[in-house]
Amino acid sequence: MFNSARTISRSRFLSGLTAVILTATAFTNTAGAVTPEEIKAKGTAVIGVQMDQFPWGFIDQNGQNEGFDIELSKLIAQELGVEVKFERITGQNRIPLLVNGNVDFLVPSMTITQERAKVIQYVIPYSSNDITVWAKKDAEIKGNEDLGKYVIGVNRGSVFEPVLVKAAPPETEIKRFDDDATTVQALLSGQVDAILGSVTYGLVIKETGHSAEFERKYKVADNFQGMAVRKGDQDMLAYLTDFVTRHTADGSLDALYKKWIGVDRAALPTTLPGVDFTGKQ
């Protein structure tokens, strides 16, 4: 297994798409609209972030919140001129917590999907987590057609599993594992020839001392991520949209992404099929 329990906890990039949507649709929007001015008046921004998703959000060895989303949230609060209160979210509870008013907004490393967009209001993408194939450097894998020659591992029940099933040739042997940590470990220990999952798997591979043996082969699919507000929170939506736009233009989002994710931030779209970023539809 990995070198320490801390490493294991850092590599649990859980998704749970189906559970999230089923849970979220059971709730209705009972919370009133939150505006930037209201947040300034109360002096605190309550922001939903994940705290077990290294490097997006995690608890460091000193018990402090750290990560890409954490630093980004602090910047938002700083520009609002308020303190920040982090509310721990999971893949299962983040949408209900937002809809019910437990948080002001989400900075959640959450994949943008048409299904979720029916329940919450996405801000334009601020980040991405490319769905990637990882394998030994000498494995001859250049595209989906090559996957059928190898045993491929994937996190069972994650957003990665259906992507792999769709991309791989029918004859591909697929082995499923319970979480991202065991999926990466399966590659490192030789249980599988390659794995499909997060671009951040590379950080775990590097941290465990295997970067000389394994490499990122190619991107299988985009995986754009968005902050989120409640439906009808137009002022908050406008504020966060402006925040993402400004800090994309000045390069600060690129710098933060490089710092935490270890690769260059991709050029992100401002429109996606089936997803309304304006809040007007």
pLDDT of residue 223: 92
Cα–Cα distance, 164 to 162 (Å, whole number): 5
Cα–Cα distance, 153 to 172 (Å, whole number): 11
**Cβ contacts of 170 within 8 Å, gap of 6 or more:** 148
User: Taken in order 232, 238, 239, 243, is the CA torsion positive or negative?
Assistant: positive
- φ/ψ region of 251 (left if φ > 0, alpha if ψ in -120 to 50, else beta) reads left
The closest alpha carbon to 54, from 107, 108, 6, 10, belongs to 10
Contact 76, 45 (CB under 8 A): yes
Sketch out the chain's domains with CATH numbers. 5-128+224-261 (3.40.190.10), 131-221 (3.40.190.10)
Q: What are phi and psi of 208, to 5 degrees?
A: -90, 5
> Within 10 A of 170 (CB to CB), how many other CB atoms are there?
6
Contact 217, 208 (CB under 8 A): no
What are the pLDDT digits (tens) for 96-127?
999 999 999 999 989 999 999 999 999 999 99
Cα–Cα distance, 88 to 113 (Å, whole number): 22
Rounded to two decimals, what is the model's pTM?
0.80
**Cβ contacts of 257 within 8 Å, gap of 6 or more:** 68, 127, 263, 264, 265
* Burial class of residue 56 in the structure, from the number of CB atoms within 10 Å of its CB (0-12 exposed, 13-18 middle, 19+ buried): buried
What pLDDT tens digit does each residue of the chain (281 aa) get?
Answer: 334 333 334 434 333 333 333 343 343 444 567 999 999 999 999 999 998 888 999 999 999 999 999 999 999 999 999 999 999 998 889 999 999 999 999 999 899 999 999 999 999 999 999 999 999 999 999 999 999 999 999 999 888 999 999 999 999 999 999 988 899 999 999 999 999 999 999 999 998 999 999 999 999 999 999 999 999 999 999 999 999 999 999 999 999 999 999 889 999 999 999 999 999 87
Contact 152, 146 (CB under 8 A): no
DSSP string computed for 80-149: HTSEEEEEEE-TTTHHHHHHTTSSSEE----B--HHHHTTSEEPSP-EE--EEEEEETTS---SGGGGGG
User: Taken in order 63, 66, 69, 70, is the CA torsion positive or negative?
Assistant: positive
As a residue count, the chain comes to: 281
pLDDT of residue 2: 38
